[in-house]
Amino acid sequence: MAKIMNPVTQMVLMTLLVACQPTDGSQTLQQIEVSTPVTTSTGMEVLPAGEISFPALRQVQDRTLLPAHGTVVFKVIHWNDFHGALLERTTTEGMWIPGIARLASFVKAESSVLGPDHTLVLDAGDWSPVGNPKIIDIQMNLFKGMGLDAMTVGNHDLWRGLPALVDFALDARPVEVLSQNMMGRDAGECMKSPVINGYQIYEITGDEDAVVRVAVVGLGMEALERSNVQSAYKTICYTDPVAAYETLYPSLVEREKADVVIVVSHSWLDLEKDFARQTNALGIAPDLIISGHSHTLMNTPEVIGKTRIAEVGDFGRAIGIFDLVYHRDSATLDTTWRQVVLNPCSPVDADTQAGLLQAFPDNMVIEEQPCISNQVPSNVVYLTALKPLKVRVGYWSLGVGTFPATEGGMVQGERIISHGIFFPNGLFAHAPSELVYDLDGAYTQFHAVINLKEMPCGNGAQFAIALDGREVFRSDVLRPESEPVEVSLDVSGTKRLILRTDDLGSNECDTTIWGDPYIE
């Protein structure tokens, strides 16, 4: 990939040539006239509002109908709020950042399951390394190597100003930078057309030559440009995302003939829910919303009408995967979702790591954390993969593979670690707690490592296990300083598995953990 040019200098020195895609799929070139930039009070160079010309936008295509037979299996890999977290490190708050080499390793391996032609890789915004523009071209080059297909624009991605963003979007190709409701300003007023392309159509082939058309639409919350106030943002405005999407939707389904619609949006999760409610009510709801901006680590997607919403924290610490099957004959979409939270035992992609070491100066150190994991057999079913019939916890919320809060040695969103052992599929259920699972008599063995997170307080707790309502196990009193205890039980024929933790009159610091519980 070519280095990203200094956008302001380049726009002053020459006229940019911008590619767009007309309806016949060929490329044409359009000249963009530019004017002399001015320097703001912040020292940033920006082009005066009302004197900016924008790149030509993708034209809608009149596509033919596809044969109504066959199925297409594909997947969507996604993340959000990466914030330029390229290097593995531990923050001053104790948060471990896995780095892009571990992210790349997972994405490449997951993409290879069905192949890149059956996998879409999406970023929901705030990818920019804020405060260090020198590494943005390095990051995009690594994103391309991972197979990233499309990304939307977050508030932190605007901090260098509109000219730089337009230049970045051009240089990012073949990665699509999308935003349907990010408009330019003319004399202070919002223009009626997006600054950059708002959507892209991807065609994925399945069995019997079946094809599914997937529309990926970029959006941001209204007035997103105000999230980080800079003089440069006077050239950009975000309009109502529902209105922008409603305007686009007929073109997507009537002319582009999209079968599946995915919105990649940088808005608060609560606003994504409102968007889903409104678009469902209008009968134009997207199938998926890949969310960003609120840094929420979700255990399960939010389901509103036909729409599923997923967001996976921040800094590349987690990745979401939608496994999808589109049935052409019934025009229906089967959807399952899972989340993977990286840990120091997650593999590192050698090519990406080599690129980092070559690109960064000697004073940029990759702080690798040692891998200490709980060894478990393969081909088992972790309880983290099952949806419990009942959840009751004494404090915070159920942690599925990660801690649900930041306190006393825990960091919210971090993989569960206790007594020096990582439990990548652990359950954190602060006592008193009760978790109920439906086994349907299909399993023979249950196994877990029970323990409490190390905290300098608390009088201890007990763990109990019941099978079909009958208690078959109760531990001794375990305290934060107690060593972990392994538990194995015969669960043959069991319909209901019940996991309880009981306090001893006070639940202060009863941070009870079911370490990597699995059934087989």
Map 238-307 to HEC letters: ECCHHHHHHHHHHHHHHHCCCCEEEEEEEECHHHHHHHHHHHHHCCCCCCEEEEEECCCECCCCEEECCE
pLDDT, residue 190, reads: 85
List the domains of the chain with CATH numbers. 7-49+70-341 (3.60.21.10), 381-519 (2.60.120.1060)
Distances (CA, A) of 325 to 118, 207, 330: 11, 11, 12
pLDDT, tens only, 65-89: 998 889 999 999 999 999 999 999 8
pLDDT, residue 179, reads: 96
pLDDT, tens only, 228-250: 656 556 778 899 999 999 999 99
Asked if omega into 98 is within 30° of 0 (cis), the reply is: no
- Look at the chain and count its residues: 520
CB-neighbour burial class of residue 175 (10 A; exposed 0-12, middle 13-18, buried 19+) = buried
Q: Could you give the CA distance from residue 199 to residue 152 in angstroms, rounded to a whole number?
A: 10
pLDDT, tens only, 17-51: 222 333 332 222 222 233 333 333 333 334 444 45
Residue type (1 letter), 337: W
CB-neighbour burial class of residue 517 (10 A; exposed 0-12, middle 13-18, buried 19+) = buried
DSSP class per residue in 134-195: GGHHHHHHHHHHHT--EEE--GGGGTT-HHHHHHHHHHHTTSEEE-SSEEEEETTEEEEEES
3-class DSSP assignment, residue 25 = coil
End-to-end CA distance of the chain: 48
Pairing between β-strand 176-178 and β-strand 150-152 as defined by DSSP bridges: parallel
Q: Which residues pair with 177 in a beta bridge?
A: 151
pLDDT, residue 489, reads: 97
CB contact at 8 A, 269 and 314: no
pLDDT, residue 231, reads: 52
The separation between CA 188 and the C-alpha centre of its own chain, rounded to angstroms, equals 34
Q: Which residues pair with 435 in a beta bridge?
A: 391, 499
Q: Which residues pair with 45 in a beta bridge?
A: 39
**Taking the CA atoms of the chain, what radius of gyration do you get in angstroms?**
25
199: left (phi over 0), alpha (psi -120 to 50) or beta: beta
CB contact at 8 A, 312 and 297: yes
Output 88-92 pairs: Cβ under 8 A, ≥24 positions apart. 88/366, 88/367, 88/368, 88/369, 89/365, 89/366, 89/367, 90/367, 90/369
Residue type (1 letter), 136: I
pLDDT, residue 18, reads: 26
Pairing between β-strand 71-79 and β-strand 381-382 as defined by DSSP bridges: unpaired
Regions in the chain scoring below 50 on pLDDT:
1-50
Cα-flanking dihedrals φ and ψ of residue 378, to 5°?
Answer: -85, 170
